[in-house]
Amino acid sequence: MQKFDIIVIGAGHAGIEASMAGARMGLDTALITMDASAVGRMSCNPAIGGTAKGHLVHEIDALGGVMGKIADRTGIQFRVLNKSKGPAVWSSRCQSDMDLYSTAASRIVKKQDNLTVIEGIVEEIIEENKKVRAVKTKEGETLYCKAAIICSGTFLNGLMYTGLDSTVGGRYAEESAEGLSLSLKKLGFKLGRLKTGTPPRIKSDSIDFKLTEIQHGDELPKPFSFHTDQTIFPYLNQLPCHITYTSEQTHKFLEEGFDRSPLFTGIIKGVGPRYCPSIEDKIVRFSDKPRHQLFLEPQGLNSDLIYVNGFPTSLPEEIQLKALHSIKGLEKAEIVRYGYAVEYDFVPTYNIFPTLESKTIEGFYLAGQINGTSGYEEAAAQGLMAGINAVLKIRKEPEFILKRSQAYIGVLLDDLVNKIPDEPYRMFTSRAEYRLLLRQDNADRRLMDYGYKFGLIDEQMYKEFKETTKLIEDGVKTLRKTRIHANAVNPYLEKKDSSPIDSSEIISIICRRSGIRLKDLIELANRDELLSELLESERALNNAEIELKYEGYIKRQQDLVDKFEKHENKIIPRTLDYTGIKALSKESIEKMAKIKPRSIGQASRIAGVSPADISVLMIYLRAYSG
């Protein structure tokens, strides 16, 4: 009889982070996967990060997760998106070598102490007295545990569609987890259906790249991980991507297959991602647009396959080929694998607490696409949080919940629990109301203390982090009182078309001007040893510059956070009977009884709960506590 502290089901991005967290925090952990060679396999786009998703990767890394390290090791193009905008929305993205990513992930998992990789298919979750007890595999083996984390991705009762043809499976040439869906239903979970899609893969040598636009990575690429040695980064040769566009002719060809589309004929019942729709859905919803942008992305250094980003489809094969051949540069494109849609089961998030523990079965956690999210990064963030909280639960230590004001991960989990998405949830910077505080450059200052506390950040990294943090804080204080003389700075200001100063001015004030760089000002000033040290640390210098340039905006957001905290600190008893509060609306009673908010702040963010209901609740709680 095999016994573990934690069992993680599924070895995708969520499962990797969950199992690594459990093992690195010292508990005996098992990672069960259908295929031990498919650990960390990229089901869809061979890329990590992107708008807001890059923030999640930096936060995962600051907490001690592994996604950023793997991405840095296996990235073949790195870019920071939105650089023309403010630092709140700068987002890192890397094109990954698909095969090397999976190989690196598998290597990290298999060499981790306290972590056993088991090949098998879980068919049943076993509980006793509403507490998770064990899992049973298709092979008939029962594995006992104190906590279980399900990270099933798109494999729960998965069906793949191309045209009117369907195949059982959660990913190309892989099985579906049908028994596990039945087990969840028996345990009392109500399941829903979602859908996602993937585009065709085409042969690189069949593309005329001269007819496309080339897209290079950054000249000086930046890594995701704070652990990465920038003196030898990037580790791999860097490749360009290319851009092309659909046309009105392309759209006409696609429309010829609408009568055989599983999406439009009603065969697929699941809801698809609004922000990453299939190409057929896109041309219907945006019929006024004559073309759509496509990115031709290499799948790896030694791969001859190109991923057609922006062209996910489940239309019949001959329609996919005809449409692609109408696109500039793809006139002779050879499809190696056709696009397909995947429909799969998920668990609506009113079933989980913010810790990702199930409300139905104690010690049973859900992470990733099973919670209705879309994307590797959202899945990995959930896996890490579920893994940490499972360990804390077993140790009988306080749970770990990040606030909206602390991290994008906090925004993600708060949205899932309170808004209960009915379509695949994707992270955007616009979802974070305090995004100027939640920049990717300060993820370590926001979260690394937690990672160190949980044993996921080593002593050396933490020591370097504390030194850098002190350098930033001391540098900012010094720059707020260090003056620069007019004769030293005016020639520079004139070159930058900025008005000169009369006598002397504080560096932090001049730094706020548009186009003025802090590095230049420090070099022009009669600097002390501290400022010279600040110049030598690119990370510290960049952090200090953002803190000074956006000081007023940051302070305003922090003031909002302080007001926000007042509501977050007003705790609602778990035993509160909402049906006994007669002045509450029926909808609010129903929603709050289902979600069981932990604070007034959380209750106020539940969809359908009005400000009037919050006022009623606050009055009731004052009387209740009195």
Pair 384, 280 in one domain: no
Give the three-state DSSP class for 521.
helix
Q: Which pLDDT value is given to residue 272?
A: 85
Note whether residue 307 is domain-resident: yes
Q: Does a structural domain hold residue 558?
A: no
Q: Are residues 128 and 26 in the same domain?
A: yes
Domain match, 31 and 165 both: yes
Mean pLDDT check: name the lowest of 137-146, 272-281, 344-353, 509-518.
Answer: 272-281
Nearest to 365 by CA among 383, 346, 342, 392: 383
Contact 305, 103 (CB under 8 A): no
- Tens digit of each residue's pLDDT (9 = 90 or more) over 61-117: 999 999 999 999 999 999 999 999 999 999 999 999 999 999 999 999 999 999 999
| 214 & 278 share domain | yes
**Which DSSP state fits 573?**
P
Residue 190 lies in a domain: yes
Specify the pLDDT at position 625: 66
In a domain, 413, yes or no: yes
CB 424 within 8 A of CB 272: yes
Range 474-501 burial, b when 16+ CB lie within 10 A, else e: bbbebbeebebeeeebbebbeeeebeeb
99 found inside a domain: yes
Beta bridge partners of 126: 134
Domain that holds residue 225: 201-343
Is the same domain home to 403 and 336? no
- Model confidence at 524, pLDDT cuts 50, 70, 90, reads very high
Check: CB of residue 370 under 8 Å from CB of residue 364.
Answer: no
For residue 499, which phi and psi values (nearest 5 degrees)?
Answer: -65, 140
Give domain status of residue 379, yes or no: yes
From the number of C-beta atoms within 10 Å of its C-beta (0-12, 13-18, 19+), residue 267 rates as middle
List Cβ neighbours of 393 (8 Å cut-off, separation of 6 or more).
147, 355, 357, 363, 399
Residues 185 and 328 in one domain: no
Sign of the four-CA dihedral 142, 143, 144, 150? negative
Q: Are 521 and 541 in contact (CB under 8 A)?
A: no
Average pLDDT, the chain: 95
CA 95/CA 108 separation, integer angstroms: 20
For residue 469, what is the enclosing H or E element? helix 459-479
In a domain, 268, yes or no: yes
Residues 6 or more apart from 556 whose CB is under 8 A from it?
A: none
Residue 151's identity, in one-letter code, is C
Residue 298: how many CB atoms within 10 A of its CB?
A: 22
CATH of residue 358: 3.50.50.60
Number of domains in the chain: 4
Residue 133 CB-density burial (10 A; 0-12 exposed, 13-18 middle, 19+ buried) = middle
How far, in Å, CA of 366 to CA of 512, rounded? Answer: 45
In this prediction, residue 564 carries a pLDDT of 83
Q: Which of 206, 211, 214, 202 is nearest to 306 (CA)?
A: 202
Average pLDDT value for residue range 212-241: 97
Q: Kind and range of the H or E element at 309? A: strand 305-309
Please give the structure tokens belonging to residue 195.
């859908």
- pTM across the whole model: 0.96
pLDDT of 626 > 90? The answer is: no
369 and 327 share a domain?
no
CATH number, position 313 = 2.40.30.260
Instruction: Tell me the pLDDT tens digit for each residue of 39-74.
Output: 999 989 999 999 999 999 999 999 999 999 999 999
Q: Residues 274, 337: one domain? A: yes
pLDDT in tens, 122-153: 999 999 999 999 999 999 999 999 999 999 99
**pLDDT-derived band at 480, boundaries 50, 70, 90:** very high
Domain boundary among 553, 585, 614: 553
Residue 459 lies in a domain: no
Domain boundary among 553, 588, 612: 553
The pLDDT confidence band at residue 526, using thresholds 50, 70 and 90, is confident
CATH of the domain at 613: 1.10.150.570
Q: Are residues 216 and 168 in the same domain?
A: no
Got the DSSP string for 16-70?
A: HHHHHHHHHTT--EEEEES-GGGTT--SS-SEEE-TTHHHHHHHHHHTT-SHHHH
Q: Which residue has the tokens 């000086």?
A: 220
Do 70 and 105 touch, CB atoms closer than 8 A? Answer: yes
Q: What is the pLDDT of residue 366?
A: 98
How remote is the C-alpha of 617 from its chain's centroid? 34
Q: Return d(Cα 279, Cα 93) in angstroms, integer.
A: 23
Q: Are residues 156 and 228 in the same domain?
A: no
> Is residue 585 within 8 Å of 610, Cβ to Cβ?
yes
Beta sheet of 142-144, edge-to-edge order: 2-3, 142-144, 131-137, 122-128
Asked whether residue 81 falls in the same domain as residue 166, the answer is yes
Do 58 and 172 fall within a single domain? yes
Instruction: Name which residue leads in pLDDT, 547 or 564.
Output: 547
- Is residue 335 very low, low, confident or very high in pLDDT (cuts 50, 70, 90)? very high
d(CA 81, CA 141): 47
Give per-residue pLDDT as tens, 378-422: 999 999 999 999 999 999 999 999 999 999 999 999 999 998 888
Tell me which of 501, 527, 553 is where a domain ends.
553
Of the chain, the percentage scoring pLDDT greater than 70 comes to 100
Token pair listed for 626: 């009195």
> Strand, coil or helix: what is 123?
strand
| Residues 585-595 pLDDT 10s | 999 999 999 99
* CATH code for position 548: 1.10.10.1800
Give residue-wise pLDDT tens across range 346-377.
999 999 999 999 999 999 999 999 999 999 99
CA distance 355 to 402: 9
Give the integer Cα–Cα distance in Å for 402 and 413.
Answer: 8
